[in-house]
Amino acid sequence: LHLETRLRLALQQGGLHLHYQPQVDVRTGQLLGFEALVRWTDTQLGLVSPARFIPLAEEAGLIGELGAWVLNEACRQAAAWGLRVPIAVNVSALEVAQEDFTQQVHATLRRHGLDGGQLKLEVTERLTVQDLQRAARQLAQLQALGVQLSLDDFGTGQSSVSTLLQLPLNELKLDRSLITGLAESPIEQRVVSALISLGRSLNLSVVVEGVETPGQLQVLRDLGCGVVQGYLTGRPGPASMWTPHLNGPL
């Protein structure tokens, strides 16, 4: 079967699931949130990366349905956990630009008895100017409900300073490509330091993702970074993996 047909079936038959990766306070190790990451294990192809099937879902007109499933499942899990920190969900810009997006998010929060503040949306991607304006309007409504808004992959071509100027935001999420050599590279250290200052001066919290080594973590601590996410502090895993660790440092 065609990959698109397989994805369609997976959506209909419960073949998708979510993994969760912690976001952690650099100083205390305290859990500050989870990012939900969609996973698809096909019976024949095995694990298919979202980097492959999300763009496919967008092209095939399936992203609305897929995004709605992810949002609902992440909110269901947050409610089941009684999570007191936000659950972060990645949203495709195409989804956000849809007219009924705000309505859909609001309905999902209500369905699970969550407050807006218990949800964070991570936005990326280049958008056309019109889409960006439409997305900005939807996001402003969501922000008014208390939903946290994060600009994901910041510092890559997908997510630029120009996007930062056009969207309402609460958080900048620095792309992991900016910190690969952080422990050894003075230039990376200066760039990351400047981006942390940029975030601070705009009243945005800054999350650094892709932290894999104690060396990177030490530099980030020295630079005054508040929140990290990466393999070092926790790999993405199923909800059952995190349930025993929800209170206190990870």
Angle between helices 214-222 and 186-201 (to 10 degrees): 50
Binders of Mn ion among residues 188 to 247 (CB under 5 A) are none
Question: At 221, which helix (H) or strand (E)?
Answer: helix 214-222
For the bound state, the minimum distance from the C-beta of residue 213 to Mn ion, rounded and expressed in Å, comes to: 20
**Contact status: 122 vs Mn ion (CB under 5 A):** yes
Interface pattern 46-65 for Mn ion (x via CB under 5 A): --------------------
Provide the β-strand partners of residue 121.
89, 149
User: If we measure between CA atoms, which residue out of 18, 108, 9, 99 comes closest to residue 62?
Assistant: 9
Q: Which is nearer to Mn ion, 189 or 229 (CB)?
A: 229
61 in Cβ contact with 95 (< 8 Å): no
At 202, give phi and psi (nearest 5°). -100, 10
Q: Which residues bind ligand G (CB under 6 A)?
A: 21, 37-38, 49-51, 54, 70, 90-92, 122, 152-153, 176, 209-212, 230-231, 236
Please state, in angstroms and rounded to a whole number, the distance separating the CA atoms of residues 89 and 131: 20
Contact 28, 58 (CB under 8 A): no
Q: What is the DSSP letter of 162?
A: H
Q: Identify what 123 binds: ligand G, Mn ion, Na ion, none; CB under 5 to 8 Å per kind.
A: none
Given the structure tokens 């309007």, which residue do they identify? 137
125 touches, from ligand G, Mn ion, Na ion, none (C-beta below 5 to 8 Å by class): none
Minimum Å gap between C-beta 81 and ligand G is 18
Q: In whole angstroms, how close is the CB of 147 to Mn ion at the nearest point?
A: 15
Question: Residues 148-177: x/- map of binding to Mn ion (CB under 5 A)?
Answer: ----x-------------------------
In sequence order, what are the beta bridge partners of 24? 31, 228
Report the candidate in 63, 38, 58 with the shortest Cα–Cα distance to residue 48: 38
Per CB under 5 A, 73 contacts Mn ion: no
- The binder of 50, among Na ion, ligand G, Mn ion, none, by C-beta within 5 to 8 A per type, is ligand G
Determine if 152 is a binding residue for Na ion (CB under 5 A). Answer: yes
Q: Which does 236 bind (CB under 5 to 8 A by kind): Mn ion, Na ion, ligand G, none?
A: ligand G
**Residues making contact with Mn ion (CB under 5 A):** 90, 122, 152
